[in-house]
Amino acid sequence: MKNVLSIAGSDSSGGAGIQADLKTMCALGVYGMTAITAITAQNTQGVYEVQEIEPSLVAGQIEAVYQDIRVDAVKIGMVSSAAIARAVRDSLRRFQAANIVLDPVMVSKSGYHLLRPEAMDAVRELAAIADIVTPNIPEAELLCGFSIKTEGDMQNAAEKLCSLGAKNALIKGGHRLGTDAADLLFTGGRFIRLETRRIDTKHTHGTGCTLSSAIACYLARGDSVEDAARAAKDYITQAIMDAYPVGGGAGPVGHLNALYRKAGVNIDL
């Protein structure tokens, strides 16, 4: 079995962050480990409070894992401050981390800002050590400094992120208007369009966390970046179709529904 480390924030409602990452890792057959960067008070309707973890403790969690357990891939999610981002970067450099997936979490679906503005440069420094960066369009706009409206803009953004040092980039297209939900992968000097039909649902809590974690799982299992991105896209598409409308807001995707079905659990919603 492969081992994957998630470095991210905790979601009290269980749909995103560390909780989504661990569910994804269980579903995809890897052993999940965590370094928690922040504790959030949130549910399906919003984020209400965030308490950051001290950077030294974030680094300590990473160190404790690496000193004892082989790490086959790393997913980085919410790193809200420059100090935390740099503690993560320095720790991963120290242990020569491989298969790093950076999901640059900046704003929650409810509009809560999860990244301090002054931390943007530190996130770019994290991108420089990443094997793949997976921003959505608003995140890519902030990282790159220009508006993204067309597929050409997405290509320019992917190239910009790789110029920062990232080995590969996946620009998620869900925020664009249209009938599909095409993402754009830049790998090996070429652009690959990952297409699926757009699913009409508001229950998409945790999609970015889940996709990036799935990519990390497939990389840990030995897949190429292209194959990992395609498999992760298939997984998140099914998870959105299986979304669980718990609560009064945007419910979480169905991370474990395939396992529930095998176990004979009634998942009719």
User: Of residues 209, 237, 251, 254, which has the active-site annotation?
Assistant: 209
User: Of residues 17, 208, 249, 254, which has the active-site annotation?
Assistant: 208
Chain center to CA of 263: 27
8 within 8 A of 37, measured Cβ to Cβ:
yes
User: Of residues 15, 32, 206, 251, which has the active-site annotation?
Assistant: 206
> Is-catalytic flag, 209?
yes
186 within 8 A of 172, measured Cβ to Cβ:
no
> Is-catalytic flag, 208?
yes
- State which amino acid sits at residue 47: V
Cα separation, 204 vs 170, in Å, equals 19
User: Of residues 40, 204, 210, 237, which has the active-site annotation?
Assistant: 204
> Is-catalytic flag, 204?
yes
> Is-catalytic flag, 254?
no
Residues with catalytic function: 172, 204, 206-209
